C-alpha cells in the first residue's frame, strides 16, 4: 500500500486520470490524499467529484477555497461568477449526493505525523489546535444551519488570531487561514493580496510557513493553493499546487519516501 498526496485538481479530470495511471494507483491497495480545490475552473468538476465519491474509501481530502465557494453557490448563498465552471455539476442528477459528501470534508487532516491542509495554518496554532478548529467548522457545516454558516464565512476580517474572538469571527479566520492563507505581515495579520513568487514578495511580508516561532515547525505539512510557488519540497513543508488549471502540471508525492510524480496538464481540461 502507498499513500499519494495530490495537489489542486480544480476540475482537471483528464490530467487527474493521467496522474493516477502514472503512479499506478490501485483501488483497495493505495490511498489518495487530496489537498483541496478538487473542483472549479477546470472543465471536469462533475467527473472529478463523481470519481472521488465512487472511490471515497480510498480518498482522504480536505476542503479548499474553491470547494467552499462551490458549496456556497450550490446552497444559493452567492451567485456564480464568470470564471466558475460548475454548471454541469450543479445540474447533475447526483449533485445533491456529491455536495453532501463534499460538505462532510474537514479543513485539516493529520496522520502518520503529517499534516494536510489546503492553504496553511497560523503560527500560533499547534497541530492539536488545527484539528480542533477544523472539527469546530465541520460541526457547523454538518448542522441544520449550514446555509447560514456558509453565508457568514465571507470577509477578510478579523485578519489576526485571538482566542477571544467571537464564534463567527473565529470560524471565519479559521476558514481563511486553512483555505486562503499565503503571507503574513510582521504583526501576524493575514495578507489577502499577495499571490506571487517568493522572490518578489514585499519585505513587509513573510510566507506563513517561515513565520517566526511557528508552532507546527516540527511537523511535515502538505499544502496547495499557492500555485506561484510551484513545487517546494523541504523537510518541513511540501507545496504541491503546480498549476494544473493554469496549463502547467498536476503533481503527486508518495508519502512514504517523498518521491515526486507529475503529468503535464491535458489541454482538454482548461
Q: SS3 for 133? A: helix
DSSP string, 9-27: -TT-HHHHHHHHHHTT--B
pLDDT band with cut points at 50, 70 and 90 for residue 63: very high
Q: Residue 23: which CATH number?
A: 3.60.21.10
The rounded Cα 139 to chain-centroid distance in angstroms is 18
pLDDT at position 67 is 98
Average pLDDT, the chain: 97
Nearest to 100 by CA among 31, 35, 146: 146
User: Hey, what's the torsion of the CAs at 33, 261, 268, 35, to 10 degrees?
Assistant: 20
CA 30 to chain centroid? 21
For residue 142 the three cell numbers come to 454538518
Taking Cα atoms as reference points, which of 67, 197, 177 lies closest to residue 123?
177
SS3 content of the chain, % helix, strand, coil (to 5): 35, 20, 45
**Quick one: what percent of the chain has pLDDT higher than 90?**
99
Model pTM?
0.97
Say how far apart CA 183 and CA 201 lie, in whole Å.
9
Q: Which residue, 205, 188, 249, 199, is CA-closest to 224? A: 249
pLDDT for 216: 98
Task: Tell me the pLDDT tens digit for each residue of 118-133.
Answer: 999 999 999 999 999 9
| For residues 251-256, average pLDDT | 98
In whole angstroms, give the CA distance from residue 237 to residue 210.
10
CA–CA gap between residue 76 and residue 270 (Å, rounded): 26
- Quote the cell numbers at residue 232: 517546494
pLDDT tens-digit readout, 96-114: 999 999 999 999 999 999 9
- Which residues, 6 or more positions from 166, have their beta carbon under 8 angstroms from its beta carbon? none
- Please state the domain count of the chain: 1
Domain that holds residue 104: 3-269
Q: Tell me the Cα Rg of the chain.
A: 17
State the DSSP code for 149.
H
Amino acid at each position: 500500500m502507498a499513500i499519494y498526496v495530490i495537489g489542486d485538481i480544480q476540475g482537471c479530470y483528464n490530467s487527474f486520470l493521467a496522474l493516477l495511471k502514472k503512479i499506478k494507483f490501485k483501488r483497495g491497495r493505495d490511498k489518495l490524499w487530496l489537498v483541496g480545490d478538487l473542483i472549479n475552473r477546470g472543465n471536469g468538476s462533475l467527473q472529478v467529484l463523481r470519481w472521488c465519491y465512487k472511490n471515497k474509501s480510498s480518498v482522504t481530502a480536505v476542503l479548499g477555497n474553491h470547494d467552499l465557494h462551490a458549496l456556497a453557490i450550490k446552497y444559493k448563498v452567492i451567485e456564480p461568477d464568470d470564471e466558475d465552471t460548475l454548471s454541469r455539476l450543479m445540474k447533475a442528477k447526483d449533485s445533491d449526493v456529491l455536495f453532501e459528501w463534499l460538505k462532510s470534508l474537514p479543513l485539516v487532516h493529520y496522520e502518520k505525523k503529517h499534516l494536510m491542509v489546503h492553504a496553511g495554518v497560523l503560527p500560533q496554532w499547534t497541530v492539536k489546535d488545527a484539528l480542533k478548529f477544523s472539527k469546530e467548522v465541520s460541526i457547523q457545516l454538518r448542522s441544520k444551519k449550514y446555509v447560514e454558516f456558509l453565508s457568514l464565512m465571507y470577509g477578510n476580517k478579523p485578519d489576526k488570531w485571538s482566542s477571544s474572538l467571537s464564534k463567527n469571527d473565529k470560524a471565519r479566520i479559521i476558514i481563511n487561514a486553512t483555505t486562503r492563507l499565503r503571507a503574513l505581515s510582521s504583526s501576524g495579520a493575514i495578507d489577502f493580496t499577495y499571490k506571487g513568487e517568493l522572490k518578489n514578495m514585499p519585505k513587509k511580508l513573510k510566507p506563513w510557513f517561515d513565520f517566526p516561532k511557528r508552532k507546527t515547525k516540527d511537523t511535515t505539512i502538505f499544502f496547495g493553493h499557492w500555485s506561484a510557488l510551484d513545487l517546494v519540497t523541504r523537510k518541513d513543508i511540501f507545496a504541491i499546487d503546480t498549476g494544473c488549471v493554469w496549463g502547467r502540471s498536476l503533481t503527486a508525492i508518495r508519502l512514504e519516501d517523498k518521491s515526486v510524480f507529475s503529468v503535464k496538464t491535458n489541454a482538454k481540461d482548461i
